[in-house]
Structure 1
Amino acid sequence: MKKLAILSVFCLWPIAAFAGGNTSTYTKFDLDRCRQVEPGDEYVYGGTWACKGIKGYDIIISNADDRDLVGFGSIADDQCSRHKTFGRFNTALSPVEWRMKGGKPIAAIERWRVTTDDEGGSVTWLVVSALRPNESCHVHFVAGSYPNANEAARRAADDLAEDFDCETDVPTVDSKVGPPPINMDACKDVARE
């Protein structure tokens, strides 16, 4: 009986080891409850907030001219993702989905609402960002209308984020409505002022 129990453990171990894979956890944010680290001005800059994220990665949100810019990690101004936003008015939506591998965050998935016209029409986009110490960059965009958009974003996070070179690689897209209205250049080609 003891041999059968040991044999069962060894036979089932590979299934248990590979069944888990990457996981998701979520962090809600509300700018009214986040720490404002930089005030807005009297013109178009709305300010910058640091919201509690997960395991060393804060959610850093800036707003300028009714457009949000989001980075993950430190408040460093030179994060690539904090220098890219959609061309039309937009809002980063809560919550952030964190893709975890072995308990460590490897990517963030952020849903955005982006206006499509002057009458208030809008669409959503899922933006997958790779996480690095003191850096985050856009890896992949999924149109909210794309079939199984959430699963497509998770798959992109799991397949692309760890090996994505933030400086030289260009983000990819899943969409049936065309490319997202955002700068798709590699980070090395983005002005970080």
Structure 2
Amino acid sequence: MLQFAFKLVGALALVVLATALPVAPEAVAAGITSDYTKIRLEACKQIAAADTEEGTFGGAWQCAGYKGLPVYVAEGDLRMFVSFGPTAEDEPAAGQTLPNFNTVNETLEWRLRDGVPFATILRWFPSVDDSGKTGSVLIVTQLLPGGGTCQIARVDAQANKNANVLARQAADSMAGSFDCSNPPVIIGAPGILY
């Protein structure tokens, strides 16, 4: 009888634990897909010229993203800034970058829910030291025009074997509800993002 009671308590504990866990990623990702565009500054419209006097502002461009959605790219003090949407320059993302000198990859992943973009994932290459060595960081940005387009998560792609999976999970679970007054969340092993 005592053995039966332990089995019953164990079974009940499993039921409680199963209901307390979040929904499986596959269930959350239902209806979520990815599409890809390129950021090629030579094909984008330059909207601000480089500052020749101070030399710290390298210019700004407007590129076409998923289905023509505007992508704002700027360079200042050897750091990149990327934002999205019709008022991309005014969104919080337009002022966010990594602390180290950096560049961005040209491939931009758009996370889509039923064909509507809600987040992006872009690989950034921050400098690691004076030797020219760079790191690799995936930055997830939520797309909420009107002040809610901001970086929500960062994943060190060299410190995490499953960096792409982690970035997609962050996009799918955090985008749309992230408060842009908070700093982006570091996901996985921090690596150079400590």
Report the TM-score, using the length of structure 1 for normalisation. Answer: 0.78
Q: Which runs of 4+ in 1 moved over 4 A?
A: 17-20
User: What RMSD over aligned residues (CA atoms) do the two structures have, in Å?
Assistant: 2.1
Contact 1:112 1:125 in 2 (8 A): yes
The answer to whether residue 115 in structure 2 is matched with residue 103 in structure 1 is: yes
> Which residue in 1 is equivalent to 2:134?
122
> Which residue in 2 is equivalent to 1:38?
48
Structure 1: gaps (5+ residues): 1-16, 182-193
Task: Summarize the alignment of residues 41-120 of structure 1 with structure 2, pairs less than 5 Å apart.
Answer: 41-42=51-52, 43-55=55-67, 57-120=69-132
> Which residue in 2 is equivalent to 1:165?
179
Separation in 2, partners of 1:161, 1:118: 35
The answer to whether residue 159 in structure 2 is matched with residue 149 in structure 1 is: no
Separation in 2, partners of 1:156, 1:117: 28
> Which residue in 2 is equivalent to 1:13?
none
Contact 1:109 1:129 in 2 (8 A): yes
AA of the residue aligned to 2:43: R
Separation in 2, partners of 1:44, 1:18: 43
Separation in 1, partners of 2:85, 2:48: 16
Q: CA deviation at 1:19?
A: 8.2
Distance 1:21 1:36, change over 3 A: same
> Which residue in 2 is equivalent to 1:26?
36
Residues paired across the two proteins, number: 164
Structure holding more strand per residue: 1
Contact 1:50 1:75 in 2 (8 A): no
Separation in 1, partners of 2:169, 2:104: 21
Structure 2: gaps (5+ residues): 1-26
Percent of residue pairs identical: 38
**Bigger-Rg structure (1/2):** 2
Contact 1:60 1:75 in 2 (8 A): no
AA of the residue aligned to 1:70: V
Separation in 1, partners of 2:169, 2:188: 14
